[in-house]
Amino acid sequence: MNADRARIGFLLSGGGRSLENLHVEIEQRCIPASIELVISSRSSAGGIERAQRLGIPHQIHRCQEPGASDRIFEALDAADCQYALLGGWLRKLEIPHEWSGRVLNIHPSLLPLHGGAGCYGDHVHRKVLEAQQQTSGCTVHFVDDEFDHGPKILQLEVPVLVGDTVDELANRVFEAEKIAYPRALELLLSGEVNFERC
């Protein structure tokens, strides 16, 4: 692996679509990064199969309590990861001081709307439709010790169309996520954004 590439750990709890998309975008757009480790909170997560297929080492860390976060960051350190990116990670993390500003998350709404404990996946899209909002989207942000909190890096909006179902809105938001996460990573690696300046 090229020494000038940033080493990334990717945390997930589900199917791993964001993992695979980011992997593809890094290669196609020559983003100076490589995903070196995948950590899942569930042994049954589909993202593990994707990691195997992509040839990325993976580990299981259930992290059922925030205090167990230290094991995750120890694993990231052992793999020489410089950044951790969350994609469908459903556990609350306690961010060590030395990792502040090095952990990113993508959330399927325009935060601060529809964030916090229990707001993930289809739950978010259902809330958007119930609130009869005209727009939704996604947010990439730095992670702190609160759910879906921390300085925002970027947001992309999508329209909510008349008659949308949860699945239709979810698909439209995910298309925005596929653009947003690689773009946010590029901003981070170029130094255009950091935890203090966002």
The catalytic residues are 107
Residue 49 CA to residue 126 CA, distance in Å, equals 28
Give dist(CA 67, CA 73) in Å, integer: 11
How does strand 135-142 pair with strand 152-159?
Answer: antiparallel
Owner of token pair 């480790």:
37
**Rounded to an integer, what distance in angstroms lies between the CA atom of residue 14 and that of residue 90?**
9
Determine contact, residues 48/58, Cβ cutoff 8 Å: yes
Decide: 81 and 36 in contact? Cβ < 8 Å.
Answer: yes
Give the residues across from 34 on adjacent strands: 7
Rounded Cα–Cα distance for residues 60 and 51 (Å): 12
CA gap 169, 35 in Å, rounded: 29
